[in-house]
Amino acid sequence: MILQVRRLKGRLTMARKRPVVAIDGPVGSGKTTVARLVARKLGYVLADTGAIYRCLALAARREGVDWLNGSNLAALAASMSLNFVDDDDGQRVFLDGSEVTREIREPGISQGASKVSAHPEVRKALMGIQRQMGRNGGVVMEGRDIGTVVFPDAEIKAFISGSPEVRARRRFDELIARGVQVEYDETLREVIERDMRDEQRAVAPLKPAEDAEIIDTGPLTADQVADHIVSRVDSYLREVKN
């Protein structure tokens, strides 16, 4: 796999003295929005690892590779070319030279990402790429197993959660805003099904790291959650400096 991560505006000098911020959580928890806000507030690189699995699910659909065929998916993962570009409007995702930012957020691809991520050989194929993205610190990594598997030594860990109903409503509103025609009941069913699949998979199941702070986003805005995480980073940096 060829992977590039770059920022269009503002250069970063990365060193592990700046932390890896691991933000995990289930679908619809708002972790992507929170991670984007935290990265912007800190001036860190945003690494949406879930987008990698979404791109693989999309590539598999395009190439006719079954989402249940782990070995073929792993081979496809090795051949993908991904490019993540951050600008003031958010992160744009390119798969094999074409932009797929909106396409990988479609409900069908979301379900596909959950299915392809359950294969041990797929996770092994993508693990090195994810660790390369954050090895020097100064990065906000968002996913489902960042704090438990990808970066168990991350300096800052947060697990963003919420009830299935709240998360389904958030997911439903996001899809409607993008012009995707969905029903709330269908969205809730998909959220529950994905929770079960992600929590029960044999490899890297969805769960909070033992040292992660669990944050219920139900009563909080994304900005409030992001500000809280940023304050934790600031405290860490003061400790390192002293």
Where exactly are the structural domains of the chain? 2-241
pLDDT of residue 16: 62
CATH class entry, domain 2-241: alpha beta
pLDDT tens, residue by residue, 12-37: 334 467 899 999 999 889 998 999 99
Stated pTM of the model: 0.78
DSSP state for residue 102 in the 8-state scheme? T
Q: What is the pLDDT of residue 6?
A: 45
Among 52, 168, 53, 62, CA closest to 118:
53
Q: Which residue has the tokens 């009563």?
A: 219
Q: Where are the alpha helices (DSSP H) in the chain?
A: 31-42, 49-63, 70-79, 107-116, 120-134, 164-177, 184-200, 222-241
pLDDT at position 9:
40
The dihedrals phi and psi of 15, each to the nearest 5 degrees, come to -150, 150
Query: Which residues 6+ apart lie within 8 Å of 161 measured at CB?
Result: 25, 26, 29, 208, 214, 215, 216, 217
Model pLDDT, residue 187: 94
Q: In this predicted structure, what is the pLDDT of residue 10?
A: 39
pLDDT for res 65: 97
Chain mean pLDDT for the chain:
88
DSSP 185-235: HHHHHHHHHHHHHHHH-SSS-S---TTPEEEE-TTS-HHHHHHHHHHHHHH
Q: Identify the pLDDT of residue 128.
A: 80
DSSP state letter for 104: G
Report, as ranges of residue numbers, the positions in the chain whose pLDDT lies below 50.
2-15
